[in-house]
């Protein structure tokens, strides 16, 4: 049953991948983005891996979709982590490069911003490297990877009129380069407009449930920036155990399509056992089966401003911060 449900989930992701979500391209301060993501990447990588972020403050902006670029960095970081089972070093850097004729990126001549994710892991042989960006190709074993990570980053690069290059060999690690068009304008004004449009939320505790590590990490990052303290669960069953153990939370944010207990069933349990608790169901574009029309819903992929807009009318329905109700420190 679990394998059938996972196959169904993969089909939904393929539909989303084939659909290619429209991008919201703006000048992005890549140096700031990488600096802000440093703690998240380090937490995702784990204690055995040293994370180094190197991006000069005066780095020009790139033309990109900030939300999708964050997901790309997470994707590449998780791939690097998984290639360093015994530990190692993950280096994320960015700089400008003047591309000329015959360049490995095969891009037209001009100045580009190159975002590099390099690891000291196992590396790939020529055959594996040749298939690395194929959708659903994975070396992580059954149930350990979707094989969509590099494909999605490659697709993003293409949509942005950039490129993705990979250099790797067995025993010498892997270096992935994401080439992005340089922006000739300053990103500060564009980013200020986005931030100003986001509703201001009072802090509380959010229980975040999603079986996909990358989506969970990205959403956790957004929630933290919105002022929430986040408790994570990788499955409906794990969330149920937290609830049974008396975990305090003001808000439940759960993916719908998960193996085992799905998000809709979990939301119903929370509404029944903890009346008044705010609930937000997250689902993919093509997901319709089993959805409860009475539950507030947010469609993936989403940006921080969209998440904030969905949470604003829900906030306060739980009767105050759970940290106060359960006698916890804020």
DSSP per-residue letters across 250-295: SEEEEESS-SSS-HHHHHHHHHHHSTT-EEEEEE-TT--TT--TTS
Q: Is residue 201 scored above 50 in pLDDT?
A: no
Q: How confident is the model at residue 51 (pLDDT cuts 50, 70, 90)?
A: very high
Q: Is residue 200 scored above 70 in pLDDT?
A: no
Say what the pLDDT of residue 148 is: 58
Mean local confidence (pLDDT), 30-38? 94
Indicate the residue among 164, 186, 208 that finishes a domain.
186
Residues 204 and 178 grouped into a single domain = no
Q: How confident is the model at residue 317 (pLDDT cuts 50, 70, 90)?
A: low
Q: Is residue 126 scored above 60 in pLDDT?
A: yes
Q: Is residue 285 scored above 60 in pLDDT?
A: no
Mean local confidence (pLDDT), 46-75? 93
Q: How confident is the model at residue 196 (pLDDT cuts 50, 70, 90)?
A: very low
Residues 146 and 237 grouped into a single domain = no
Residues 113 and 251 grouped into a single domain = no
**Residue 156: inside a domain:** yes
Residues 149 and 201 grouped into a single domain = no
Considering the chain, what is the average pLDDT of its residues? 83
**Residue 1: inside a domain:** no
239 Cβ contact partners less than 8 Å away, ≥ 6 residues apart = 207, 209, 233, 252, 254, 261, 266
Task: Look at 57-66, 91-100, 195-204, 253-262 and tell me which has the smallest mean pLDDT.
Answer: 195-204
Give the pTM: 0.71
Higher confidence at residue 287 or residue 91? 91
Higher confidence at residue 220 or residue 17? 220
**Residue 3: inside a domain:** no
**Residue 260: inside a domain:** yes
CATH of the domain at 273: 3.40.50.2300
Residues 154 and 220 grouped into a single domain = no
What does DSSP say about strands 229-233 and 88-99: parallel, antiparallel, or unpaired? unpaired
Task: Give the span between the Cα atoms of 220 and 307, in whole angstroms.
Answer: 11
Task: Give the span between the Cα atoms of 211 and 236, in whole angstroms.
Answer: 8
Element (H, E) at 191: helix 188-196
Task: Give the span between the Cα atoms of 127 and 265, in whole angstroms.
Answer: 43
The closest of 96, 90, 85, 97 to 53, measured between CA atoms, is: 90
Q: Scanning the structure block, which residue is given the tokens 């290639």?
A: 83
Residues 143 and 271 grouped into a single domain = no
Half-sphere exposure of 67 (CA within 13 A, CB side): 16
The closest of 108, 308, 56 to 196, measured between CA atoms, is: 308
Task: Give the span between the Cα atoms of 149 and 314, in whole angstroms.
Answer: 32
Residues 154 and 205 grouped into a single domain = no
CATH of the domain at 107: 3.30.565.10
Q: How confident is the model at residue 321 (pLDDT cuts 50, 70, 90)?
A: low
Say what the pLDDT of residue 238 is: 96
Q: How confident is the model at residue 316 (pLDDT cuts 50, 70, 90)?
A: low
Residues 273 and 171 grouped into a single domain = no
Q: Is residue 138 scored above 80 in pLDDT?
A: no
Q: Is residue 250 scored above 80 in pLDDT?
A: yes
Say what the pLDDT of residue 233 is: 95
Largest CA distance in the chain: 65
Q: How confident is the model at residue 189 (pLDDT cuts 50, 70, 90)?
A: very low
Residues 93 and 30 grouped into a single domain = yes
**Residue 209: inside a domain:** yes
Task: Give the span between the Cα atoms of 108 and 169, in whole angstroms.
Answer: 27
Residues 175 and 46 grouped into a single domain = yes
Q: Is residue 313 scored above 70 in pLDDT?
A: yes
Indicate the residue among 128, 153, 186 that finishes a domain.
186
Residue-range definition of the domain harbouring residue 295: 197-316
Indicate the residue among 186, 213, 237 that finishes a domain.
186
Domains held by the chain: number = 2
Half-sphere exposure of 127 (CA within 13 A, CB side): 1
Phi, psi dihedrals of residue 161, rounded to the nearest 5°: 60, 35
């Amino acid at each position: 049953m679990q394998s059938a449900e996972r196959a169904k989930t993969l089909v939904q992701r393929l539909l989303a991948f084939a659909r290619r979500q429209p991008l919201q391209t703006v000048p992005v301060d890549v140096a700031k983005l990488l600096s802000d993501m440093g703690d998240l990447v380090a937490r995702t990588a784990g204690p055995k891996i040293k994370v180094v972020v190197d991006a000069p403050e005066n780095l020009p902006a790139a033309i990109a979709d900030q939300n999708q670029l964050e997901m790309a960095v997470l994707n590449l970081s998780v791939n690097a982590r998984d290639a360093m089972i015994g530990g190692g070093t993950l280096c994320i850097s960015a700089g400008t490069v003047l591309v000329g004729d015959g360049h490995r990126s095969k891009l037209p001549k001009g100045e580009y911003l190159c975002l590099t994710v390099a690891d000291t892991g196992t590396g790939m042989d020529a055959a594996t490297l040749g298939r690395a960006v194929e959708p659903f190709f994975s070396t992580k074993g059954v149930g350990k990877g979707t094989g969509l990570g590099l494909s999605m980053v490659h697709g993003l690069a293409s949509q942005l009129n950039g490129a993705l290059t990979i250099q790797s060999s067995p025993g010498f690690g892997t270096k992935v380069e994401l080439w992005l068009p340089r922006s000739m304008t300053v990103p500060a004004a564009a980013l200020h407009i986005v931030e100003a449009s986001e509703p201001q939320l009072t802090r509380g505790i959010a229980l975040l449930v999603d079986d996909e590590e990358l989506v969970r990490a990205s959403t956790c990052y957004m929630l933290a920036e919105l002022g929430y303290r986040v408790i994570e669960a990788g499955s409906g069953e794990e969330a149920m155990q937290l609830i049974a153990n008396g975990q305090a939370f003001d808000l439940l944010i759960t993916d719908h399509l998960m193996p085992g207990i799905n998000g809709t069933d979990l939301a119903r349990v929370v509404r029944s056992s903890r009346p008044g608790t705010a609930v937000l169901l997250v689902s993919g574009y093509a997901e319709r089966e089993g959805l409860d029309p009475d539950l507030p819903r947010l469609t993936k992929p989403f940006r921080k401003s969209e998440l904030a807009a969905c949470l604003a009318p829900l906030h306060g329905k739980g009767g105050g911060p759970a940290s106060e109700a359960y006698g916890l420190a804020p």
